[in-house]
Amino acid sequence: MIRAPLFALALTLGAPALAAPDNDPITPAPTARDWLELAHRPDWSGSWFPVISDQFAQVNTNPPPWKPEVQKQIDHWDAEEKAGRPRGLLLDCLPHGVPTFYLITHNSIEILQTPGRVTILGESDGNRLVRIWTDGRKAPTDPDPSFHGYNIGVWQGDTLAVSTTAILPQTWLAVSEAVGIAIGEGAHVDQKFHLIGPDTLAVDLTITAPAVLTRPWQTRRLFTRKRARSFEIVEGVCRQGDFEETTDKWGNPAWRPVAQSTDGNVVAPTK
Amino acid sequence: MLKKILSPGALAATLAIAAPSLAHHSFAMFDQTKVVNLRGTISSYRWVNPHVSLFVEVQEGPVKHGVWAVELTSPGNLTRLGWSRQSLKVGDKVDIEVNPLRDGALGGGFRKATILSTGQVLQARLVEIEKPGG
């Protein structure tokens, strides 16, 4: 007998919290003009493969201006990597995040343009996705921090200027898959995407990370365009390699864990 | 105490499930300054993200005999280098060059394979696909 009134009371008390907040702007449906406007944007179709050799060259000739106490940690992890004891920044399969997504990827990306938005999709690890809002909005005053942050883009001619804020402080600022440091609080990453050749895309990054850098780090990453179908993005699930095919007790296809070392490489069976 | 509660199989399963996921790793555990040549038979070829891997049973040559675990880049990248999930088959006799594991275990990072029955050479150098075009 008491339960029904209590339930009604709970619904009443809960109602205000369920109502849409006043500051929740509606994104309007794109118009035909919005779609036509895309035709005037630079053509970034195809797949973009990272110039991996240049990633290493960039770090060697223009390393991040680490704070002295951070430099000691970087030197330690660098020595560990060279000694064959890689730290394995990506072992947990959490996203690279911004800016490491651009800095050290070894896999292709693709860039999708739709009204009010540019979307960057990565291939490997299954969790690389950057939404860049180009609809004129401002960044929220207090967005939830995330691996890829909140991305606002502005077209400056044929250059897309992107400002990334609200990056989770645990997100790596990495120079390789084994050397990096958590980017820390208050990080802000500016990027300028632009073609420097018919099939070469430059991403000019200015990385502001007051917790770990003495000054903003400016660096460039290059991607080359591929149109062959063999370069089209394929599914890349990070943890798939942790499992191998088997069947369950009913005969259904299933997965079971594989043997791996603490460094993550597959371990051969012993006889 | 644990052994009294769990059978060996159940214990192994528990440990496996409790292990952290380790899929995407650096290749620094492989010694890039050394090359080891393996001749053997493919016993496993896994076309899987983020690293394709294979096992090769080695019973000859001046190397440790046994099953070697060899790792490569992703299926997507290998596709662009001309590979497919059919490039190697269980039972193929191969010569394989690897950068060996630094800890001396039977494993390495892939450099090159030659399928002995056909002479086909398979490589996995990403630098070859960095240039624009294609």
Which residue in the set B17, B28, B131 is minimally distant from A81, CB to CB?
B28
Percent of chain A past pLDDT 90, that is, above it, reads 72
pLDDT per position as a tens digit, B68-79: 999 999 998 999
Q: Is A84 close to B102, i.e. CB distance below 8 A?
A: yes
pLDDT band at residue A259, thresholds of 50, 70 and 90?
confident
Q: Which residues of B touch A86 (CB under 8 A)?
A: 25-29
Q: Is B49 close to A176, i.e. CB distance below 8 A?
A: no
Predicted complex ipTM = 0.73
Could you list the residue range(s) of the whole structural domain that residue A170 is in?
40-231
pLDDT at A146 over 60: yes
- Is A265 part of any domain? no
pLDDT at A235 over 80: yes
pLDDT per position as a tens digit, A46-103: 999 999 999 999 999 999 999 999 999 999 999 998 888 888 898 888 999 999 999 9
Q: Which helix or strand (DSSP H or E) is residue A47 part of?
A: strand A47-50
- Is A236 part of any domain? no
What is the model's pTM? 0.82
CA–CA distance, B24 with A239 (Å, rounded to integer): 8
Query: Looking at the 3D structure of chain A, how many domains does it have?
Result: 1
pLDDT value of position A126: 64
pLDDT at B87 over 60: yes
CA–CA distance, B39 with A56 (Å, rounded to integer): 33
Q: Which residues of A touch B74 (CB under 8 A)?
A: 106-107, 123-124, 236
The structural domains of chain B, ordered by start, are: 23-129 (2.40.50.1010)
- Is A35 part of any domain? no
Mean pLDDT (whole number) for B91-108: 94
CA–CA distance, B2 with A205 (Å, rounded to integer): 53
- Is A245 part of any domain? no
pLDDT value of position A22: 61
Mean pLDDT of chain B: 84
- Is A248 part of any domain? no
Handedness of CA A30, A32, A38, A40 (dihedral sign): negative
pLDDT value of position A202: 98
Question: Domain with A109 in it: what CATH number?
Answer: 2.40.128.20
Tokens 């996705």, residue? A129
Q: What single DSSP character describes residue A145?
A: P
